[in-house]
């Protein structure tokens, strides 16, 4: 798909995507706009893979939206499930209790020590906010493998504390 073709798809499908995000997924306006921008970035990243003989543009965009929305809710679920945020353990705020910060840093280090060399870059990319597809591209693994590794990392983190 060329850049002008992508622009035409954007003009045609953008209102439909917003309706889909707001009505089908019940998202508020701000979140729908945020996720729509992620959908369009993902679509642009993979625009060369789009085949008009296989699907209509809106079908292609809707499938990307399903993935983006799923990743969004999965991330929210993970954040709620794990009250310990290992990212914040690296930066100690002056108001943070020193003992608590030391405990978090210790947990973070024990987690890193417990992971395989293959899992360390996955953990780092995951903590930086990347989704499975982006992590997979960075480390050269399929997104399903990334999901499996993240599940193992979660199990190890639970055992640590």
d(CA 145, CA 138): 13
pLDDT of 130 reads: 80
Q: What is the dihedral of CA 37, 42, 46, 50, to 10 degrees?
A: -60
pLDDT beneath 50: ranges in the chain:
81-85, 87-98
pLDDT of residue 84: 45
pTM over 0.85: no
Nearest Cα to Cα of residue 87 among 45, 42, 125, 57: 125
Indicate the domain borders of the chain: 3-73, 88-160
**Residue 75 tokens, joined:** 């991330």
CA 87 distance to own-chain centroid: 15
Phi-psi region of 129 (alpha: psi -120 to 50; beta: other; left: phi over 0): left
Give the pLDDT confidence of 27-42 residue by residue, as tens digits.
788 888 888 999 999 9
**Angstrom distance (rounded) from CA 15 to CA 11:** 8
- Domain made up of 88-160: CATH architecture: Orthogonal Bundle (1.10)
CATH of 3-73, one of 1.10.1740, 1.10.4160, 3.10.450, 3.40.50: 1.10.1740
Q: What is the pLDDT of residue 105?
A: 62
Instruction: Give residue 111's pLDDT.
Output: 83
Query: Which pLDDT value is given to residue 99?
Result: 53
Helix or strand (DSSP H, E) at 141: none
């Amino acid at each position: 798909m060329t850049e002008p073709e992508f622009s035409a798809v954007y003009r045609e499908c953008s209102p439909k995507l917003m309706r889909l995000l707001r009505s089908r997924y019940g998202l508020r306006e701000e979140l729908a706009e945020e996720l729509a921008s992620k959908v369009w970035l993902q679509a642009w990243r993979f625009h060369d893979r789009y085949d008009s003989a296989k699907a209509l543009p809106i079908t292609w965009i809707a499938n990307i939206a399903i993935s983006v929305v799923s990743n969004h809710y999965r991330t929210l679920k993970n954040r709620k499930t794990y009250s310990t945020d290992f990212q914040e353990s690296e930066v100690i705020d002056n108001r943070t209790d020193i003992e608590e910060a030391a405990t978090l840093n210790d947990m973070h280090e024990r987690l890193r020590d417990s992971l395989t060399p293959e899992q360390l870059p996955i953990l780092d990319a995951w903590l930086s906010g990347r989704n499975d597809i982006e992590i997979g591209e960075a480390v050269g693994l399929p997104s399903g493998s990334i999901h499996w590794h993240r599940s193992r990392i979660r199990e190890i983190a639970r055992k640590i504390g």
